[in-house]
Structure 1
Amino acid sequence: MAAIEIAKGGERPLPNPAALPTSRKYLIFGVLAFGQFMALLDIQIVAASLNDVQAGLSAGPDEISWVQTAYLMAELVMIPFSAFLAQAMSTRWLFALSAGLFTLSSVACGMAWNIESMIIFRAIQGFVGGAMVPSVFAVGFTLFEGKQRAMIPAILGIVSVLAPTLGPTVGGIITDTIDWRWIFFINVVPGAAVTVLTILVVDVDRGDRAMFGRIDWSHLAAMALALACLQYVLEEGPRKDWFGDPQIVMAAWFSVVAFALFIERSFFSQNPIVRLSPFRNPTFAFACVFNLVIGFGIYASTYLLPVFLGRVRGFNSLEIGTTVFVVGGGQLISTIIAARLANTVDRRILIAIGLSGFAFSLWLTAHIGSNWGFGELFVPQAVRGLFIMLCIVPSVNMALSGFAGQELRYASGLFNLMRNLGGAIGIATVNTWLQDNARIAALRFGEGLSVNGRNAQDATAELARRFAAVTPDPDRAMAMAQATLGRLVGREALTLAFDDVFLVMAVVFLAALVMVPFAKSPLPGDTVPPVDAH
């Protein structure tokens, strides 16, 4: 007999998600998964359109990157906090409120009048959208069992990877065909639909409003300050010489101190915002490290290619979007393969194959040339898409299969946090590598031109002779020739820097293979007892 909850207005039976009809389960899961897709898509939807947004808001080059950073920073804070909110509000009302506020903040982003307002609205959008990301994992493992549950990591894995991968493509197409503001306005109809459908069909648990009266505000503040300052250090570090800048040093100290307080509160608070107990499970801990590396690779590679195509090739938003779309096709194919193999092959073997294949795709990209476009990047991107799902699907299974009830919520929040944290670290790290390697390559070009000074002089003179056909002033022609040669050297130096960065990323993925033998994985097909949703 169904459990009974005593509430105002009488007795209400607690929901029993496992007893719902299969069609209702898929409807609930589909609504929540689509909401998650929207939240993840908007992380990178501005990637191919930053130049247009910068021009439209009259922003400086150092300011425009905060359109992405503000979103990521706020989302990082919400993801682990969402488990607490789901318990206090119930999944239905947390998800509905998040989707509704996400829709309104999207409208606000589209109506932003300057860069400051855009950054504020993007932070709000990221914060409320972050609640939709981990909730779907917990609900999916709650609704389904057996073979149906085995499909959850594959479906959510493709959503988690495909959304940020498609972001630049969708944003580029919309910006090129309509206007950059519509990359935010397109969220209105689907966001409203998710909000309404969540209220109507999602009923998998009950909230405990009394938890809001017991909230540990110091724990919440410590978590928010630690993650926000860490994100600031990662974002501004490459541009401000890292710890050579006093603001970076101060933010780093705030992050360290706040993190120490966060850890103390996690263990000793009567009502912690985030419970770290899932890390007692070694399998979960290893899965989180794998997810950190995966997030590093996904977000960094998704970030680097649009930068290369824009700065080296001079592609516009549409050309960038259609070029990076190839990865998504590979991911769709590998999702089916990974879902089937996850039930028959040791998950550690799948992760090892996935990490090796992803490293191989990065190695292929490490031979990038300044003339590379869609055709040359097709194979490296297709390989990356094919192998990344072999990392994600088994790691999700390893991370969440051993948990039930509220512990599953906290495990889902921490697991998703690691992926986004890996992405933030990845983007900051590759930015630093790119700047340093480009500077070193430019110096080497300078040394080479000095050693072979006659050849450089002859090349400059030949360019000046050609420019003389369009300007009668010989000094101006020589200046144009020198500027052209400088741009060529800068372009080739930057291309070599991209080569070096992709090569180092490939080594990082190969190094992660060292952890695979130590990760104790449940046997394929193993399931946990039915989840207590109460």
Structure 2
Amino acid sequence: MSGAVAPAAVSGATASSARPRARPSFWSSEVIPVDQLTTREKVLAFATMCLGMFIALLDIQIVSASLRDIGGGLSAGADDTTWVQTAYLIAEIIVIPLSGWLASVFSTRWLFSISALGFTLTSLLCALAWNIQSMIAFRALQGFLGGSMIPMVFTTAFMYFSGKQRVVAASTIGAIASLAPTLGPVVGGWITDLLSWPWLFYINLVPGLVVTVVVPLMVRVDKPDLSLLRGADYLSMVLLAVFLGCLEYTLEEGPRWNWFGDATIVATAWIAGLTGIAFIARSLSAARPIVDLRALKERSFALGCLFSFVTGIGIFATIYLTPLFLGRVRGYGALDIGLAVFSTGVFQVMSIPLYAFLASRFDLRWILTAGLVLFAVSMWDFAPITHDWGARELLLPQALRGMGQQLCVPPVVTLALGALPPARLKLASGLFNLMRNLGGAIGIAACATILNDRTNLHFLRLAEHLDARNAGLDGLMASVPGASAGFGEASTATLRQLWSLTYREALTMTFSDAFLIVMACFLVALIFVPMLRKVTPPPAPSADAH
């Protein structure tokens, strides 16, 4: 950003002349110029906002491995319990594109702090929920407040840092954006097994309060402008909320209710389509849109949104598929699932220094290419999956996925947002983050549909060969304890066991199909990398400029 100054440029007389300035009072809305902040102050402010972003993203998936325990504790059925996660996702996806406008109205400082406080309080309410209805309501509020924190971290990082420091900041944000959802099932399963499900929410209290207190003290990058409330495009807000809410509901519930065979899904799909078209038309014609769709005219930003969408598919679809395989095929519990998928996070963290090293020496487009290739290769390595795969067999593909995530997401952040002027960052950042979540929602919905449809197809194909003419099958059934000597004399119990074995193999083959389709998405994305423009971080202004 043109107003961002690298700490290295603020030294000597400049630094000493800037520091005597009295810090504004807590309630003052005065902005502190970036060049008057030390590196320590900027890092502390940025790290605190990253903490808020991390707990908000972690809570997307932290309940996924513990829904059965939550349902049991609240005496709820499986259909109702799924809304513990769905409610959070719907609320979060609605508020993310609105966060830029909200930050302009209330300032980044106060919106982030109020959101963190609300997120903390709703986390406490979730832990104290007395029935499934109260839990769903509190989770929706938690998602709405948590989602508003995410895009602000992106814009603040680009305001605070430039040059090599921006590379490190983008790497940190990228790691959090992909690592937090990955760790969700791991952390959730471990906490539920060790303590109990309410502690999934109690763990947010301390970090939430820290963020609530520190952000107002340290983050002063803009002023509130309450005048924006007058004449704001409230109709666009309603259209956007209805569009994204109905779209997320359709994607979440569609696979479970056979898509357009269900009247409610048909209705929400139509509403999403019509309100989406109306929102786009109004946003492109409004003088002050709440979401900057015009930023898509910038080629690098548009392509960055595409890559954000694809990485969202990869991150969230594999988070969905791997624990589901371990639970349904291997019969793992929450803790065992968490331990089995933990290697992804380990290798991603180990790749952070590698990315920082590469980003300071090579074109980010080459690094993005390497990340996309690694992710595609990891999906290819998942494809030979068999019913007896566990943590050992999953280690290599998950290691490649962890490295691929770290080499994919940070370059996209820099290439997409680094091409925009500071004035457009707030509104565009919400759109950029929305694309990642939409990619995740569509990826999960597509994988769920694949599992429903392809499992039946594979089962029927396998069943075609299970008859008296199959000599190998006759021998297998004879070896089953309690079975009759031949296929023709098989007991009901034996046939039931044969059905279970056939279904297990069909389901395993379907997981392989799903991983290959995710791989195809990344291979298609590779085609668009050469179309990206190289983004050179703006140079830090000289001391004389201030």
TM over 0.5: yes
Which of 92, 96, 100 does residue 79 from structure 1 map onto?
96
Letter of the 1:29 partner, please give it. F
Q: CA offset at residue 17 of structure 1?
A: 2.5
1:460·1:478 contact (CA, 8 Å) conserved in 2? no
Deviation of residue 443 (structure 1)?
A: 0.8
What is the CA–CA distance in structure 2 between the aligned matches of 1:47 and 1:210, rounded to whole Å? Answer: 41
Paired residues in the alignment total 516
For residue 453 of structure 1, report the CA deviation from its aligned partner: 5.4
**Is the deviation greater in 266-275 or in 22-31?**
266-275
- Which amino acid in the other structure matches residue 200 of structure 1? L
Report if the CA contact (8 A) 2:373-2:522 is conserved: yes
Deviation at residue 206 of structure 1 after TM alignment? 0.7
C-alpha distance 311-500 of structure 1, shift in aligned 2 (>3 A): same
Deviation string, structure 1 residues 394-443 (Cα, Å, up to 9, x no partner): 11111111223331111211111111111011100111111111111111
Find the residue that maps to 2:534 and give its secondary structure: coil
Q: CA–CA distance in 2 between the matches of 1:349 and 1:446?
A: 47
Q: Which of 5, 10, 22 pairs up with 2:39?
A: 22
CA-CA distance at 1:464 after TM superposition:
5.7
Q: Deviations over 1:14-42 (max 9, x none)?
A: 32123211111111101101000000000
Q: 1:503 maps to which residue?
A: 516
Q: Structure 1 residues 467, 51: closer, same or farther in 2, change over 3 A?
A: farther
| Structure 2 match to 1:321 | 338
TM superposition shift of 1:63? 2.8
- 1:110 and 1:181 in contact (8 A); partners too: yes
Query: Could you tell me how far apart the structure 2 residues matched to 1:217 and 1:117 are?
Result: 29
| Alignment partner of 2:304 out of 279, 287, 295 | 287
Q: Which of 239, 254, 259 is the equivalent residue of 2:256? A: 239
- Residue 241 of structure 1: CA displacement? 2.0
* Partner AA of 2:518 in structure 1: M
Contact 1:75–1:126 under 8 Å retained in 2: yes
- Partner in structure 1 of residue 528 of structure 2: 515
Displacement of 1:211 in angstroms is: 1.4
Matched, 1:480 2:497: no
User: Structure 1 CA distance, aligned partners of 2:43 and 2:241?
Assistant: 34
Instruction: Summarize the Cα distance change of 1:11–1:188 in structure 2 as closer, same or farther, 3 Å threshold.
Output: closer
Could you say what the CA RMSD is over the residues aligned between the two structures, in angstroms? 2.3
Equivalent residue for 2:408? 391
Shift of 1:488: 1.6
Match of 1:471 in 2: none
**1:11 CA displacement:** 10
Where in structure 2 are the equivalents of 1:173-252 lying within 5 Å?
173-252=190-269
The alpha carbon displacement at 1:64 in A equals 2.6
AA aligned to 1:510 is L
Cα distance, 1:148–1:245 mapped onto 2, change above 3 Å: same
- For the pair 1:419 / 2:436, whether they are aligned, the reply is yes
Which residue, 465, 489, 493 being the options, matches 2:502? 489
Work out the CA distance in 2 between the residues paired with 1:394 and 1:47. 29
Is 2:281 aligned against 1:268? Answer: no
Superposed CA deviations along residues 245-269 of structure 1, whole A, max 9, x for unmatched, are 2221211111111112211221233
Q: Provide, for residues 313-337 of structure 1, a one-character-per-residue CA deviation record: whole Å limited to 9, x for no partner.
A: 1111111111111001111122222
Q: CA 1:330/1:392 → structure 2, altered by over 3 Å: closer, same or farther? A: same
Residue pairs, 1:295-444, within 5 angstroms: 295-444=312-461
Residue 152 of structure 2 corresponds to residue 139 of structure 1: no
2-structure distance, mates of 1:58, 1:215:
44
Residue 526 of structure 1 deviates from its aligned partner by 5.4
Q: Output the CA distance in 2 between the equivalents of 1:14 and 1:394.
A: 30
Structure-1 residue corresponding to 2:7: none
Q: Is the 8 A contact 2:347 2:399 kept in 1?
A: yes
Q: Does structure 2 retain, via aligned residues, the 8 Å contact 1:309–1:315?
A: yes
Cα gap change, 1:526 to 1:197, in 2 (>3 Å): closer
Correspondences of 1:101-120 after superposition (within 5 Å): 101-120=118-137
Q: CA deviation at 1:215?
A: 2.2
Shift in Å at residue 308 of structure 1?
A: 0.6
Give unpaired runs (5+ residues) of structure 1: 3-9, 469-474
Identify the residue that residue 5 of structure 1 maps to in structure 2. Answer: none
> Which AA in structure 1 matches 2:450?
W
Give CA deviations for 1:105-144 in whole Å, capped at 9, x if unaligned: 1112112233222222111111110011000010011011
Cα distance in 2 for partners of 1:113, 1:362 equals 41
Tell me which residue corresponds to 1:7.
none
Letter of the structure 1 residue corresponding to residue 112 of structure 2? F
Contact 1:403 1:528 in 2 (8 A): no
Contact kept, 8 Å, 1:461 with 1:478, in 2: the verdict is no
| One-letter amino acid of the counterpart of residue 534, structure 2 | S
Correspondence 1:42 to 2:55:
no
Per the TM alignment, residue 223 of structure 1 is displaced from its structure 2 partner at its CA by 0.4
- Give the partner amino acid of 2:509: L
Question: 1:529 and 1:165, CA in 2 relative to 1: closer, same or farther beyond 3 A?
Answer: farther
Question: Residue 287 of structure 1 contacts residue 398 of structure 1 at CA under 8 Å; is this kept in 2?
Answer: yes
What are the ranges of 5 or more consecutive residues in structure 2 without an aligned counterpart?
Answer: 1-16, 19-26
Q: 1:467 to 1:104 in 2, by over 3 A?
A: farther
Matched residue SS, 2:230: helix
Equivalent-residue separation in structure 2 for 1:334 and 1:464 (angstroms): 49
TM-score, normalised to structure 1's length? Answer: 0.92
Conserved in 2, the CA contact under 8 Å of 1:464 and 1:478?
no
Report the CA distance between 1:347 and its aligned residue: 2.0
How far apart, in 2, do the equivalents of 1:462 and 1:333 lie?
A: 47
